Amino acid sequence: MKLETALVAVLLAAPACAATLTGAGSTFAYPIYSKWADAYRKVKPDLQINYQSIGSGGGIRQFTEKTVDFGATDGPMTDAQIAKAGGHVLHLPTVMGADVPAYNLPGVRNLRFDGPTLAAIFLGKIANWNDPAIAKLNPGAKLPDMPITVVHRSDGSGTTYCWVDYLSKVSPEWEKSVGRGVSVQWPVGLGGKGNEGVAGLIKQTPGAIGYIELIYALQNSIDYAPVKNKAGRFVKASIAGVTAAAAGAAKRMPKDYRVSITDAPGAESYPISTYTWLLVYPRNPAGKGIELRDFLRWAMKEGQTLAPALGYAPLPANVRAMVSKTIATIE
């Protein structure tokens, strides 16, 4: 009897098994989702959130296969992908961010680009750093006679979707020959896995240019350029620039939240901006709807305050209110 009593006492004293939410996808959003997971653990110590930074394409795939509780993407799912996932998918905007043209050009700082020139570089039409098109945008810069090494993503990527969505809007040739998608057929360049891989290749390759999410340029001390926006101003990526880009779209946000904010109007708008989304089923297949709903409610409030320190823009107030109503419907 004493042994049985002692065993009962140990079982009562043992902590309950922690619940777990699993997610996968966007490397673009990994810094903020990782921060949220750590911060929310302090709010709900009995809930562990595991997030894998595998790229938006991988996140969509795992979400569709129902091997995770939520997916994460910076390029919204297509109608065909939604149908494959069962036809009922919630795209929940979480924060906004920016793709930047990051480069490694020894001895040259403060370069500027416009959309057509970036498209020509990534098409392989501009192959040298002292090309007249780059020189025209950067009067006085001592551009070297040096080949350009283009770096792009090798995996399915929402960061890619944002980049090529922008190039498709500013370059008819890009739209016709390459187009949009989380994965595209790149005309030229080296591939890196994840934002981490692209940042690493740029940093170790003199003469390289690639696209990465803003926080990866900041964390790796990589030069990145202002881009000429629709209003004709050169704007460097910032929270203010991303917020300005979202301002117009926020007024006409579609009910499914799948919206592009690249090449947005406005003098202050940064032109390569995007929402990033969590992918959620209205009814969680694993029966974790309550845990997921509570976490997402927290993300729309306290979580938004953590975004600016990592280079992300919080959601506009009206979008946050819309998304919060959708979150309340999750079962």
- Report the distance separating Cα 118 and Cα 110, nearest Å: 16
| DSSP assignments along 253-299, one per residue | --TT-----TT--STT--SSEEEEEEEE-SS-TTS-HHHHHHHHHHH
- The structural domains of the chain, with segments of one domain joined by +, span 19-96+251-259+274-327, 98-249
* Topology agreement, domain 19-96+251-259+274-327 and domain 98-249: yes
- Report the distance separating Cα 102 and Cα 18, nearest Å: 41
Q: Is 79 helix (H, G, I), strand (E, B) or coil?
A: helix
Q: What CATH number was assigned to the domain covering residues 98-249?
A: 3.40.190.10
Report pLDDT for 228: 98
Token pair of 125 as six digits = 């039409």
Report pLDDT for 14: 35
Report pLDDT for 247: 86
Report pLDDT for 1: 39
Q: pLDDT digits over 185-194, tens only?
A: 999 999 999 9
Report pLDDT for 74: 93
What CA–CA distances, in Å, run from 280 to 20, 36, 49, 74, 331?
A: 15, 17, 15, 14, 10
Q: What percent of the chain has pLDDT over 70?
A: 95
Say what the alpha-carbon torsion angle 132, 137, 140, 143 is, to the nearest 10 degrees.
-50
- Report the distance separating Cα 286 and Cα 68, nearest Å: 9
**pTM (whole model) above 0.85:** yes
Q: pLDDT digits over 310-326, tens only?
A: 999 999 998 999 999 99
**8 A C-beta contact, residue 158 and residue 179:** no
Q: Which residues of the chain are under the pLDDT cut of 50?
A: 1-17
Quick one: fold of 19-96+251-259+274-327?
D-Maltodextrin-Binding Protein; domain 2 (3.40.190)
Report pLDDT for 18: 67
